[in-house]
Structures are given as structure tokens and as C-alpha cells.
Structure 1
Amino acid sequence: MSNLFTKSIKHSQQSQQSFQYPQERLMKLLIMTIQILQENCKQYSWVSQEIQEETSQDQELMTYLEGLNRHKLQIQQSTLFSYKRIVELETLVGIQERGEVFQERGRRRMQMRMRGKKMEWMIVKNNQDFGMSQYQD
């Protein structure tokens, strides 16, 4: 068993030796890694700046759209008010026209009544003139 353990230790030491890099190689890798990280940071800051610009543009657009929506709402409200006013005016005109029609009808009826009463009065007067009474038995 100890023989197996010794073999595994030797194998592990050999594998560690095979993976050992020279100092220069490690420094180059470290420098390349730092450069890649710096480039990524630059790209990140550029992307971040783009996002901020787009966000500000989006905010401007949203403000503009809100203004348009307010304007649209004002137009709708004024249009609705105009429609209501038109309906009110049409109603008033209709009422006025109907009133005039009713007045005309009333005037005609009154004239007819007056003519009828005048005719009745004339009949009564004529009957009295001839000695007849309105009520006969």
C-alpha cells in the first residue's frame, strides 16, 4: 500500500513539474490579462456611456410623448366641449323653433276661437234681433 502511495506522490510531482511555466511566460500572461481587462473596461465604459445617452434620449422622447398626449387630451376635451355646445345650441334652436311653431299654432287657434265666438255672438245677436232666444223649449 505504501508502494502505491509513493507512486502517486511521484506521479503528482512529475505532473507539477510538467505544468511549471518559466517566470517570463507568467509575466507575459499576466500583462496580456491586464491588457484584456483594460480593453474590457474601456468597452464597458463606452457601452455604459452609450446606454446613458440612449436613456437620456429615451427620457426626452418620453417627455415629448407625454406632451403630445397632454395636447391630444386637451384637443379631445375641447372637441368634446365643442360637440356638447353644438348639441346644446341645436337643442336650443330646436326648442326655439318648436316654440315658434307652437306659438303660431296657438295664435291660429286663438284666431279661430275668436272667429268662432264672434260668429256665436253674431248668431245670438241676430236671434235677439228677430225676437228669438238662444234657448228654445
Structure 2
Amino acid sequence: MSVRMSEVAVGDQLPVLSVPLTRADLVRYAGASGDFNPIHWNERFATQVGLPDVIAHGMLTMAVAGRLVSEWTGDPGAIVHYGVRFTRPVVVPDDGTGALVELSGKVAKKNDDGTVKVSITARSADQGVLGGASATVRLPE
């Protein structure tokens, strides 16, 4: 999908995106990122350090949330700024299903410099997992 600045209004909703995450996804991400912290793959270790179970990498959660915006723009290069606060981990059980990260967004502001601010909501297990998530994008006229 490609969106143009002239087609966008404050309050517009982005298409909802649901991203499943399994333990296999965590292993692949660990290999790609080099982050082999056992909280991301070892249930015994994760629970020993006080977590409810294995959790997704924070940067993986951030990446899937960013995908909401890049799929909407049709161009990942359109994102000129992106930021989040990590508020709650995505727990990924070893049950064959894993976790589901549900993403939504809306156009929060059209800026004078020709960019658009998008507010992003990310939820898993009916709880918010990112706070203050937003992206600034430059759309074609």
C-alpha cells in the first residue's frame, strides 16, 4: 500500500496488523541480532529471574510495530523518525501458538514540514507493550 500526503487526514486509522511470534521466531531473531540472552529462549532461566516465561526481544517488538507504518507507507525509507518506550514484555509461551502482537495506528498530526506523525498502539495478551510509540513519515505529495 502506498499513501500520499494529499490523501491523509488527522485521525485516519492505519490498517490493523497482527503479528504472531513463536519461540522459533525468537531463535531466528537471536541469530540475526546476536542477542542470545537466555530470557529469550530458556524458560527455566526466564522464570528464575522473575519473568513469567520467555519474552520476545524488545527490539523485535519494536521492529514489528514499525512494520505497521512501513506497510502503510509502502516505503520503509519514508520513516524519518521512530521511537517507543518499552512498557511490558511480550511473553512467548512454548505452546505451538506463541504470542500475538496486535498493532494499530492513527495519524496524529500533519506537520508544517510536510511530514506526518503516526501514533502507534502495540498490544499482546490484551495489554499494552509499548508506550509513546510514534513515527514521523514523509509521504509523497
Which structure has the greater CA radius of gyration? Answer: 1
Structure holding more strand per residue: 2
TM range (shorter): under 0.3
The normalised TM-score by structure 1 is 0.18
Structure holding more helix per residue: 1
Asked which structure has the greater RCO (Cα within 8 Å, sep 6+), the reply is 2
